Structure 1
Amino acid sequence: MAYYASYSITLIHLCTIFAAASLGNGLTRPKFSSILVFGDSTVDTGNNNYIETLAKGNHFPYGKDFPGHVPTGRFSNGKLVPDFIASMLNLKDTVPPFLQPNLSDEDLLTGVSFASGGSGFDDFTTALTAAIAMSQQIEYFKVYAARLKGIAGEHEAKQILRDSLVIISAGTNDFLLNFYDISTRKLEFNIDEYQDFVLNRLQIFIKELYDLGCRKFAVSGLPCIGCIPIQITKSLSLKDRKCVEDENSDAKQYNRKLARLLLKIEAMLPQSKVVYADIYDTLINLINHPQKYGLKETNKGCCGSGLFEVSPLCNELSSTCDDPSKYVFWDSVHPTEVVYKYIAKYIKMEVLPKFQFDWDI
């Protein structure tokens, strides 16, 4: 019986690898065994449902356009980028949160999300939001790795981690909560210094995952922070709602530093591939040229007034727009499903192909 169980697990793993390898237009695709996700609300598929925090998306109208029209804890009207990527790689239709009870062996074999809405690389960030700190996400990953070993055996589990696509999307909350809106860190750093502080924490985070067996990393840069509706509202731009250019300029500076840093990290970590995902340009393109993509509203969310409602303030009593697919933002912070889908397409076309190589191990 043990032989047949082991055989079945190995077969599932091999099938996911070969399916991913044959993805799209006959082109060779990266051989990812699973998808592992770390970060904030942009990639939290429901972990915040299971912790004490105000930052939750487990109530209507969140999930309005998710399969079954149910709120899952995702901070959008539907699916997130990891869900679309997992589907593109033929791994699964959606990525479950690691804290979800009763995860199946197949769920664990093909990947989970450890992300938490409100998280960031700076410990001050999660002190304010009561989210799952990035350091705690590492601890949950260690538990996951042990469970994976119990399912697949030590050798197979090690190979699954090596072949996993690791998505890291965080940093926005650090700047929103600690620099622009509450200014906690302004007492200690200027913007240039704080960027370096956050990037150093990111480098440590990647190294920890590498030491635990991960090798393939896709790391998201900051979005155009100044175009997030709540930031426009806080700038008191109520009539002429324009992006806050200083915050956008800071985000671009951070992203330039990040792109350079990731090359250095890759060079320091043997047999690793660390790829930068330029979310800024993808999102700003949708905002600047909405008609080209069938979009209409770019500076306010679909939920409520769209000016300030997010998480608990975007609730069952809130009105919603008639057609979220015409909106860039779902609430005053988070994009709509259609925008996440565009970002996922960018990752498929521009990021994943950079993993096309083989290692002689």
Structure 2
Amino acid sequence: MGLDDRNALATLRAAFTGPDSDEVIGRIFTCWFALDPEIRDLFGADMTDQRRTFGRVLDWLLGEFIAQRADEPVSLLAQLGRDHRKYGATKQHYETIAHALFATWAAELGELWTGPVEETARDVVNLIAGVMIGAADAEGGPAWWEGTVVELHRVSRDIAVVRLILDRPLDYQPGQYVNVQVPQVPRSWRYLSPAMPPDPEGRIEFHIRSVSGGMVSNAIVDETQIGDRWRISSAHGGLEVDRDGGDVLMVAGSTGLAPLRAIIMDLCRFGENPRVHLFFGGRYPCELYDLRTLWELAAANPWLSVTPVSEYNTDPPWAADYPDVAPPRGLHVRQKGLLPEVVSSYGGWGDRQILISGSRAMIAATREALIAKGAAAQRIQHDPV
């Protein structure tokens, strides 16, 4: 039965969802590197994030296969195949990871490794490898773009705004995200969202917040220098505003502002737009780093309104070391509280298109709060978490 055998698919999925799932995923990579030792050089020193992401994607794919849904898995695998060209991935690499996955399944399942399960496992690995290889071979564009850092602004203790000029323009939709590699952490990539629409001259801007344990984000905020050369992948994601789809609620936590800001700036090209209400939140007032830009956009576009939100009313002492972010009069009065609570206190926003961008926890909390107030889940957009 292969991919139609839901029981066999559930057995395969269970091998990676138990208490030892991290160790099992680690054994897949150990097997892969034994089959193809050179592949290890394509990864950074710390592979924790790669293993975790691999496990999440595999779990999601098997869940979709169990539900007999194929369109989204095939679309994701094709996207990954195109995107993984930036790592130097080849057909051989996909074939060896397929062998490693198959062998690890066989070893882990033991007596559960029956004929039907083996057949299903073979179909799963063949589908994964085949779609990714085919998509990579069919992609005619470059595997990556390179650019030079031309401006660096440390706007808060752990937030930086970085502007680059790319060697050739990158085509993307406002609201999408790209994968970025910086010279300070070679072979490690981090997803960032451009904070402005695509520019025909190759200019691009990113907003980055350093996070605990985040090698790439910390390196960008603390170590970036003018003249650094960055490598950027093709764009992914689907955050967007339907200009004929009614009014819009946007919720941005910290540097999650970037993709929503790009969408707003793109909307400024049009004479008429749906009303857009943006809530922009941070821990302290001083971390609302781009309020002046938002004030300028709102002053020139009557369809845009902005409500600043901070968890605390006053700034910490270290705020004096960074630029004053307070805008001129004109924005809504800053609200105090947690962003999900403040936004949902205004109601369910059930008549709005809703876009949320920020940390995984903020997205989940905001989405849950809005749905509890009556917002339609199908009208809520956010990037994969």
Q: TM-score per shorter chain, which class?
A: under 0.3
Give the TM-score taking structure 2 as reference length: 0.27
More strand by share: 2
Greater RCO between the two (CA within 8 Å, min separation 6)? 1
Give the TM-score taking structure 1 as reference length: 0.28
